[in-house]
Structure 1
Amino acid sequence: MPIFHNKVAIITGGSFGIGRATAIAFAQEGAAVVIADCEEDPERETLRQIEANGGEATFIKCDVSKASDVAAMVEKTIGLYGRVDFAFNNAGIEGVSATTQECTQENWQRTLAVNLTGIWLCMKHELYYMLQQGSGAIVNCASVAGLTGFPLLPAYVASKHGVVGLTRTAALEYAKSGIRVNAVCPGVIKTPMIDRFTGNDKQIEQHFREMEPVGRMGEPAEVAAAVVWLCSDAASFVTGTALPVDGGWTAQ
């Protein structure tokens, strides 16, 4: 029997990259999956892969920076499946590279709106139903940039540090309510976001690989495996942690 049989998982940012890999991983473990994203992959690849392997999934369009979108997305999940057991709050943007002094207010506000306010909004509505159930597991997507500083990414780094703090706070608030809240902190993972950041420049990509102690970029499926574990009963005594999935980056 799959470990998530008869369970329901929400994956934000589920159309691409880490979100896609995690949605597929949850479906492989038997969960019905809600793929929430502000845009749907034109090829519907996440949905296609899940359904091709006998899984169940639904796409719901959702901009996590908009409270009305998030509320509607979670309520639609409840309407379709009657419950929400797991949530991977993953939707995020990298923002525009600039020094702290040169970072625009527009970039600052947009990056925090998606990466931090968006996670808070998702948790707010997910927790409402998890509290009624008396159970649930939430994993928020932070970053190694939530554990250390990175030049030229002030808004992104601030948002991801905020995710770690929010995760720890919620974990303490709901520790006795049957709800666990954790974060994953990916290192350099081969995703469309990294492709945008590097511009597919082979020299920059090589620089990133050399910065990773393991000598390579991570794969989205490696982050997905950590998320699945954090939501599983195998991690029943784990809450409030910010788990690096970073090839040793933060050990340096």
Structure 2
Amino acid sequence: MERRELLKGIAMAASASATTGLLSVAHAEAADAAQGGGAAPARKGIGVHDIPPLSPDYFVPDRFKGRTVIVTGCARGMGAQAARRLAREGANVVGVDWIEKLGAETIGAIVREGGKADFVFGDVAQNETCDKMVQVAVTKFGGLHHALNNAGVMDGVYSGAPIDYAKQKHLVFNQVHEASDEYWDNVIRTNATGVFKSLRAELRHMVKQNTGGSIVNVGSVTGLTGFGGTPAYVASKHAVTGLTRSAAIDYAYYGIRINSVNMANTATPMVERAMQLIMAKRKESGGGPSMSMMKTDSLLQAADSRKRDATPAEQVAVMLFLLSDEASNLTGAVYATDGGYTTY
């Protein structure tokens, strides 16, 4: 069974290309093997030369030496990768997450490696959490220089909870006419309100501190274009795009640069979770018509022999570049770190 056929089947059940287009190669290969009773074909893409992914261990020594950086959503995925690399580059890291155990583990690993870091447990949609993360940056490390507002969700289920589709399906992504208030409210709360409140707390201090700085908001390719089946996610990521541009105008005066990164097809635990929810939904619904799978791959994914997703390390490399002094002339931009998805 070809990967595209698998995706079409999933899309008929979920009508959700914002998630089904973000599947890892491992999912497709496993499905191919299960359907065919053997190993998946060696080649799937159309290219003749693969681009090797950046090593997750790569870093630039001392690039953030003496700087303090807040990273929201530090428990896993891109947030955890960013927190670890920032610490290796000399930063003091304040990690924030509502998944307490995993967030604490990320920060604990940094400290054990000799880095400087502290963990704040909480929800970025709550003022108390945002105020506390800034307070920790200032009281423990003496100030705040950069922030990576990475926390985000794709569905309305608490991301630290195990999947129980029968109980959670009212919180799962759906087309507009089938989407619940709870799904909409929860996704908007984290992705839009959470970024706003994080920005507000960070900027209050950075303006007062008056030493400039930079902020990167983590958006999505769905904040640059339309996707089917995930109305709250798409709307919330468009909100991140607007917040980024608006804030960049207001804070250039203070020497604070604000940009966003907008990825497609990236192998993260959030996408893994979405895949599981989609498969559960497909099993229950039996499928239906969908327009959402007319386009699934980025340019680089389509060309790669294994149709691999982008990696967290590849995305984090751009995030940290934009935070760094190397990006001194860049602000107010929404970068499509999407492997060429929005190009064609």
TM-score normalised by the shorter chain: which range applies?
A: over 0.9
Paired with 1:92 and 1:112, the residues of 2 have a C-alpha distance of 10
The counterpart of 2:314, out of the listed 211, 222, 241, is 222
The counterpart of 1:92, out of the listed 149, 152, 163, is 152
Query: Is the CA contact (8 Å cut-off) linking 2:151 and 2:190 kept in structure 1?
Result: yes
The counterpart of 1:126, out of the listed 202, 209, 225, is 202
Residues 110-150 of structure 1: CA deviation (Å, up to 9, x unaligned): 11110011011011010011112221100001000000111
Paired with 2:272 and 2:208, the residues of 1 have a C-alpha distance of 41
Is residue 110 of structure 2 the alignment partner of residue 50 of structure 1?
Answer: yes
Tell me which amino acid in the other structure corresponds to 2:232: A
Query: Is the CA contact (8 Å cut-off) linking 2:84 and 2:110 kept in structure 1?
Result: yes
SS across alignment from 1:221: helix
Q: Scaled by the length of structure 2, what TM-score is found? A: 0.69
The counterpart of 1:162, out of the listed 232, 239, 243, is 239
- Structure 1 runs (4+) greater than 3 angstroms displaced: 41-45
Cα drift, residue 25 of structure 1? 1.5
Relative to structure 1, is the Cα distance of residues 175 and 107 closer, same or farther in structure 2, using a 3 angstrom cutoff?
same
Instruction: Flag the structure with more relative contact order, 1 or 2, with Cα contacts below 8 A and sequence separation at least 6.
Output: 2
Is residue 295 of structure 2 the alignment partner of residue 240 of structure 1?
Answer: no
Paired with 1:249 and 1:45, the residues of 2 have a C-alpha distance of 34
Residues 9-50 of structure 1: CA deviation (Å, up to 9, x unaligned): 000000110100111111111001011001134494422442
Paired with 1:225 and 1:136, the residues of 2 have a C-alpha distance of 18
Query: Is the CA contact (8 Å cut-off) linking 2:76 and 2:102 kept in structure 1?
Result: no
Q: How does 1:67-216 map to 2 (within 5 A)?
A: 67-95=127-155, 96-134=172-210, 135-199=212-276, 211-215=297-301, 216=308
Paired with 1:103 and 1:117, the residues of 2 have a C-alpha distance of 19
Query: Is the CA contact (8 Å cut-off) linking 1:16 and 1:41 kept in structure 2?
Result: no
Residues 217-240 of structure 1: CA deviation (Å, up to 9, x unaligned): 011111111111001111000000
Query: Is the CA contact (8 Å cut-off) linking 2:74 and 2:103 kept in structure 1?
Result: no
Residues 68-107 of structure 1: CA deviation (Å, up to 9, x unaligned): 2211222222121121111000111101210011111111
Determine the structure 2 residue equivalent to 1:32: 92
SS across alignment from 1:198: helix
SS across alignment from 2:299: coil
Query: Is the CA contact (8 Å cut-off) linking 1:25 and 1:225 kept in structure 2?
Result: no
SS across alignment from 2:173: coil
Of 186-195 and 49-58, deviating more is 49-58
Relative to structure 1, is the Cα distance of residues 201 and 38 closer, same or farther in structure 2, using a 3 angstrom cutoff?
closer
Paired with 2:140 and 2:189, the residues of 1 have a C-alpha distance of 28
Tell me which amino acid in the other structure corresponds to 1:145: T
SS across alignment from 2:272: helix
Q: Scaled by the length of structure 1, what TM-score is found? A: 0.93
The count of aligned residue pairs is 248
Determine the structure 1 residue equivalent to 2:26: none
Paired with 2:102 and 2:215, the residues of 1 have a C-alpha distance of 28
Paired with 1:243 and 1:212, the residues of 2 have a C-alpha distance of 15
